[in-house]
Amino acid sequence: MSGFTFSEKQEKEITGILSKYPFKKSAMLPLLTLVQRAERAISPEAMVAISEKLDCSPAYVQSVMSFYTMYHAEKVGKYMILFCINISCQLNGCDKLLEHTAKKLNIKVGETTSDEKFTLHREECLADCTNAPMMRINDTYYGDLTEQRIDQILDSLD
């Protein structure tokens, strides 16, 4: 299978990643992350490309990829909202806020908006419990959420 090639810049980055480890298989998660962030999904073609870089079977890449929740076979939105629903956030009313967010985006939890802008996922603890309720949008943590604050945050993203 072909159809996926790393860009020149990515190739350079991959060389850097590989230099961190004595065994190249260790670069598995970094490479999957690289693809996920660039493509917002990991296609079978990309898995083949990774397997070739790391000298392992594509099945093995898929086995690893499907274990971790941050990798997605289906393309996710430009903004990936991970909404924490674990205990500290639950105690602080995250369920209603999540419902509010879904309603605002007009999607169900787990779905992506039709313009591919937002994907909303229920998420387990993200280690920001003292700021509960919280969510993570792409790389940014947002704590002390209220309906109003959520609206503001979502509206500020373009």
Q: Which of 11, 12, 57, 103 binds another protein (CB under 8 A)?
A: 57
Q: Return phi, psi of residue 104, to 5°.
A: -60, -40
Distance (Å, rounded) from C-alpha 8 to C-alpha 151?
A: 39
Question: 118-139 b/e with 16+ CB inside 10 Å = b?
Answer: bbbbbbeebebbebbbbbbbee
Q: Are 46 and 65 in contact (CB under 8 A)?
A: no
Q: Which of 90, 106, 146, 152 binds another protein (CB under 8 A)?
A: 90
Q: Which of 87, 103, 151, 157 binds another protein (CB under 8 A)?
A: 87
112 binds another protein (CB under 8 A): no
Beta-ladder partners of 82:
121, 136
Helix (H) or strand (E) holding 92: none
Q: How far is the CB of 19 from another protein (least distance, A)?
A: 9
Q: Which of 6, 53, 58, 79 binds another protein (CB under 8 A)?
A: 58
**Could you tell me which stretch among 5-13, 101-109, 112-120, 138-146 binds another protein (CB under 8 A)?**
138-146
AA letter at 88 = S
| Binding-residue total with another protein (CB under 8 A) | 52
Q: Which of 29, 41, 109, 154 binds another protein (CB under 8 A)?
A: 29
Distance (Å, rounded) from C-alpha 89 to C-alpha 75?
A: 27
Q: Which of 3, 5, 12, 69 binds another protein (CB under 8 A)?
A: 69
Q: What residues line the site for another protein (CB under 8 A)?
A: 20, 22-23, 25-30, 32-33, 44, 47, 54, 56-64, 66-71, 82, 85-88, 90-93, 95, 124-132, 136, 139-141
